[in-house]
Amino acid sequence: MQEVNYRLSKFTKKGVSLITAKEPAASRPIVDIAPLSQVTVPLLSASGDSLRSAVKINQTVLQGDLLGLAEPGAGYPVYAPVSGLLVGFREIQHPLLGNVSCAVLNCTIAGSKYNKQDQRSVDKSADYIKLAQTMGIIDELDGMPLAKKLAQWKKINSVCLVADASEQEPYSSSAWSVLNESTAEVEKGLELISLAIQASSRHIAVMQPKANYKKLKSLIKNTDLLQVSGKYPAKLVSGAKNICRVGVQACLALYHAVEYNRPPCNVVVTVTGDAVTNAQNVRVPIGTLVDDVLHFCRLSPRPEYVIIGDAMTGNTINRTDIPIVPGITCIIALKACPRSSVHPCIGCGRCVSACHAGLLPYEIMRRLDNMQYERLASLLAEECDGCGACSYVCPSGLDVAAKVIEAKDAHGNIFLKWGNGDDI
Amino acid sequence: MTYKLAYAPYIRRTERAAKLSADVLIALVPLCIFSAVYYGLRPVLLVLSGLLSALICELFACLLMKRVPTVGDGSAAVTGSIIGFLVSPLSPYWLPAVGAAFAILIVKMPMGGSGRNLFNPAAAGLAAITLLFPKYMFTYPDPGLGIPLPISNEALETVVTQASPASLLMSGGKTLYTPAMLLLGDFPGPIGATAVLILVSCGVFLFARRTISSFIILPYLLVCAVIAAVFPRVLGGQADSIMVELCAGYLLFAGIFLLNDPVTAPRHWLGRIICGVIAGLFVMLMRYFGRFEEGTCFAVLLVNAFSSTFDRLGWYALNYKRIRKRRRNR
C-alpha cells in the first residue's frame, strides 16, 4: 500500500492553527428536515449547461422522476428530489451557479418511486462512470460532476483514491456525520469508485479526536483510515503524487445508485453559527431554500450574516431564498460582524508565513491597491486556492485573501498584459 | 430580509497590530529596570522623555493631517522608547525628545504614518541626533561606581566618565572588559544596550511571541561575529574580539529591536536572511571605517532602503522556475 500523509511544506511551517467550532452539531445525529411546502430545483446540468424541463406545469412528479433533461449523450440530468406538483419556473441568481432557471415543486404528494427493499445485486463489471453520469451525481467537495472526475482519473496510472471527510475548516461536520452514520455504505461506495478507476489504493481521511478515530477504525474493514493532523490547510502528499479526492456524500450517492438504482435526492448540510439555536446536521432535499433550513434549526435573534460554505472559504449571501444544491455542505448564521479593517498593512509578514502556496499576499495586495496591474503577473496570484489563511492571520484585519483572489480573477485582463512582468 | 455581505474568512485570529508593539514595550521594561539599578532614576526619565515626545508628536501630526490619532497602535511609543534606550545616560533630557520628534515628524508621518514608513523611525531619529550631537551620544558614565546619576542636567559635569568598549575598539589595543563584565552589563554604553543577558532574554521572549524572526537576527550576528573573528580590532584573540564586538555599542539591541521592526523588515524568510547578512556587513563596515564609534543606526537605514528588494530577490530566487513556466504558458 502506498504511503499517504497529510503534511505541509518540508522547510517552513506554513498554514494556520484554526479554532474548532464543530460542536454540538458534530456529535448530534443527522436529522431529516420537516416536510416542506415547496422546493426550488435548479435546472442546471453539473457541467454548467441549462437543462430542458422534462415535466410540464401542473404535472405531478414522484421523487426520482426525471425533472431536467440533458442533451442526448452528454450532460447530467436532474431528478425530482421530492414528489410534488410542478407549479412553475423561477429565475434565481445563485451565488454558486450564477443565473439559473429553477423548477418550483409544491410538495403536496407523498410517496416515492423507490424504497429500501428494492435492493439489487451489484454488478461488479458495470460501467459506474456511465451510471454516475445518468444519475447526475455531484461531488460535494468541489461541486463537479462525479462522472467527469472519474473519467479523468481513469486515464491516470497509479491513483491513490481518498474519500475526504477531513473537514479542516472550523464549522462543517456533515461529512463526518454521514461517514459515522453510513460507514459501511460509504466504504462500499468508495470501493465501487476504486473499481471504476482501477485505483491502486483507497483511503478515508478524517480529522477527529482520538476516541472517534478509534471507534471509526474498528468499523472500517477494507479501507485505510487516515487521521489528518497539522495546520490548515493540510495537503495530501503521497509518493505516487496522483491523489484523487472524492466526497463521502458522493461515495454514498454512487452506492445508492448502484444498489437501489436511486438518483441523489438529498444532501446533508451542517447548520450552525452563533445565531442558530439548534445547531445540527440536517438532511434536506436538493432545492430546499436556505431560509427553510435556517428556520428548521431555529434562528435565535436576527442574524447579520448568512454564509454558504464554511467560515474560511464560504460566501455571504444577502438573501436566503436560495436553493441548496450538492456542493453546499455548511450554512452558518452569525450575529457578530467579522472584524473590519483597522490599520494599514504593517508588513509583519504573517500572511507570507501562512500561505501554503508560497505566495507574497501582502505584495499582491499592495500592487493591486497601487494599480500596478502590469507587475501583478509575476506574483503568481493565479496559484492561490483561496484558503483564506492570509486574512485569518492578518493583525491589521485586512481582507488580504479577497485582494489576492481579485488579482487571480483579473488574470487575462488587458491591463495585466501591458508588461512582461516584474524583472528584478 | 436582507443580510450583510463580507469577505471570507469570517473568523479571524484575535492578534492585533497593537499586540506586536505591546510585546516590544514589555520586553523593554526589564532593560529600564536594569539601567535604573545601575544609574538611578535618570535613565528612566530619559526613556520617558523620548516616549512622551513621540506620542505628542504623533498626536500633533495626526491632528494636523486631520486623521484619527494612531497613538493607540503603540508604534510611536516603541519608537520613542527605543530612542530613549539608545542615548547615553548622561544625555540631556531634550536629546531623546528631539530624536523622537525627528523620527515621527520627519520620517514617519510624512510617509503616511503607521505601516507606511520606508525607514525605521527610531533608527532615523538616532541617526539625526548622532550626527547633530555626537558629543552627548558617546559620553558614557562609569557604571562601576554604583552612585545614581544626578537628576538635573547641570550637575552632570561632576560625573566620572569612561571610554566605552566601542571607542576602545576604534582606538585598538587590549580590551579592558572581561566576558563576565560584558555579559552582566558592567561597562559604559547606551542606557538599554549594555545588559547583554537581559537583551538575549528579551530576544527569546519576542521570538517565542513570534514578534521577531530568527531569520534576520541569526545571520546578522553570524556575519558580525565572522568579521570580528577574521579582522580583530583588539589584542587577545578571536574569542575576545567576537565578544567585545557583539556586546559593544548597540549592535545586539539593533538586531533585536530595530532590524525586526515589522514595517521595515523583509517579510519573506529568504529576504530576511539576505537582510540580516547585509545588515551585519554594513554594521561592521560602519564600525571599521565609519566616523563614529557606533554607526549601527546608519546601517539599519541602509538595509531598510532595500528591504522590499530583498523580499523580491528571495521570493524570485525560490520561485524562478514557476515564474518561467507561467510566462512560457502565457
What does the alpha-carbon distance between residue A329 and residue A310 come to, in Å, rounded to a whole number? 8
Q: Report helix angle A146-154 to A183-197, nearest 10.
A: 50
The average confidence (pLDDT) of chain A is 81
Confidence class for position A421, pLDDT limits 50, 70, 90:
very low
Interchain pair A16, B13: CB under 8 A: yes
- Asked, for residue B321, whether it belongs to a domain, the answer is no
In a domain, B326, yes or no: no
Categorize the per-residue pLDDT at A156 as very low, low, confident or very high, splitting at 50, 70 and 90.
confident
Q: Tens of pLDDT along chain B (330 residues)? A: 788 888 888 888 877 778 888 999 999 999 999 989 888 899 999 999 999 999 999 999 999 998 888 888 889 999 999 999 999 999 999 999 999 999 999 999 999 888 888 999 999 999 999 999 988 888 888 877 777 888 887 777 777 777 788 888 877 767 778 888 888 888 888 998 988 999 999 999 999 988 888 999 999 999 999 999 999 888 878 888 899 889 988 999 999 999 999 889 998 889 999 999 999 999 999 999 988 888 899 999 999 999 989 998 899 998 888 888 877 776
**Domain identity same for A133 and A240:** yes
A239 and A358 together in one domain: no
Please report whether residue B4 resides in a domain: no
User: Among A160-169, A180-189, A222-231, B41-50, which stretch is predicted with the lowest mean pLDDT?
Assistant: A222-231
Residues A130 and A237 in one domain: yes
Q: What is the CATH number of the domain that holds A191?
A: 3.40.50.11540
What distance in Å separates residue B269's CA from the closest CA in chain A? 8
Measure the CA–CA gap between A415 and B147, rounded to whole angstroms: 69
**Domains: count for chain B:** 1
Interface contact B11-A19, CB threshold 8 A: yes
Claim to verify: residue A122 and residue A253 sit in the same structural domain:
yes
pLDDT band at A422 (very low <50, low <70, confident <90, very high): very low
- Domain assignment present for residue A64? The answer is no
How many residue pairs from chains A and B have C-beta atoms closer than 8 A?
A: 159
Instruction: Check B116 against A16: CB less than 8 A apart.
Output: no
Strand A330-334 relative to strand A266-272: parallel, antiparallel, unpaired?
parallel
- In-domain check, residue B327: no
Give which of A307, A352, A417 to mutate to test B binding, by max B Cβ within 10 Å.
A352
Give the structural domain span for B113. Answer: 18-316
- How far is it, in rounded angstroms, from Cα B313 to Cα B316? 5
Residue predicted with more confidence, A323 or A11: A323
Shared-domain flag, residues A133 and A250:
yes
Question: Which stretch of A110-119, A120-129, A227-236 has the lowest confidence by average pLDDT?
Answer: A110-119
CB B257, CB B82: distance < 8 Å: yes
Residue of B nearest to A423 (CA): B316
Sheet hosting strand A160-165, strand order edge to edge? A224-227, A201-206, A160-165, A243-246
Q: What is the DSSP letter of B249?
A: T
Nearest-CA residue of chain A relative to B270?
A12
Contact A374, A419 (CB under 8 A): yes
Does A402 contact B at CB distance below 8 Å?
Answer: yes
In a domain, B2, yes or no: no
Beta-carbon separation of B316 and A394 below 8 A: no
* Residue B9 covered by a domain: no
Separation between Cα atoms, residue B89 and residue B141, nearest integer Å: 7
| Whether the predicted pLDDT of A300 surpasses 80 | no
The verdict on A347 touching B (C-beta cutoff 8 Å) is yes
pLDDT of res. B175: 73
Tell me if A97 sits within 8 A of A143, measured CB to CB: no
3-state SS, one letter per residue, for A141-187: CCCEEHHHHHHHHHCCCCCEEEEEECCCCCCCCHHHHHHHHCHHHHH
Domain count, chain A: 2
Structural domain including A388 reads 350-417
Q: At what angle do helices A174-181 and A210-219 cross, to 10 degrees?
A: 40
Residues of B in contact with A303 (CB under 8 A): 3
User: In chain A, which residue's Cα lies nearest the Cα of B3?
Assistant: A318
Flag whether A398 is in a domain.
yes
Whether residue A313 and residue B8 make contact (CB cut-off 8 A), yes or no, is: yes
Q: Final residue of a domain: which of A260, A275, A296?
A: A260
Structure-block grid coordinates of residue A292: 427553510
Most A-contacting residue of B7, B109, B119, B261 (CB-CB within 10 A), to test interface: B7
- Among chain A residues, CA nearest to B271: A349
The verdict on pTM exceeding 0.95 is no
CB contact under 8 A, B12 and A402: no
Interface probe with B: pick from A22, A310, A348, most Cβ of B within 10 Å: A348
Using the structure block, give the residue that is written with the C-alpha cell 524570485. Answer: B316
Domain boundary residue, one of A221, A241, A260? A260
Q: Has residue A104 been placed in a domain?
A: no
Q: Do B13 and A378 touch (CB under 8 A)?
A: no
With cut-offs at 50, 70 and 90, classify the pLDDT of residue A240: low
Asked if B7 lies within 8 A of A399 by C-beta distance, the reply is yes
Work out the minimum CA distance from B276 to partner chain A, whole angstroms.
16
Task: Let me know if residue B304 belongs to a domain.
Answer: yes
Residue B7 contacts A where some CB pair is shorter than 8 Å? yes
Q: What is the CATH classification number for the domain harbouring B24? A: 1.10.3430
Among A205, A233, A260, where does a domain finish?
A260
pLDDT per position as a tens digit, A53-91: 777 888 888 888 888 777 666 667 888 888 888 888 888
B323 touches chain A (CB under 8 A): yes
Residue A169 · residue A312 · CB < 8 Å = yes
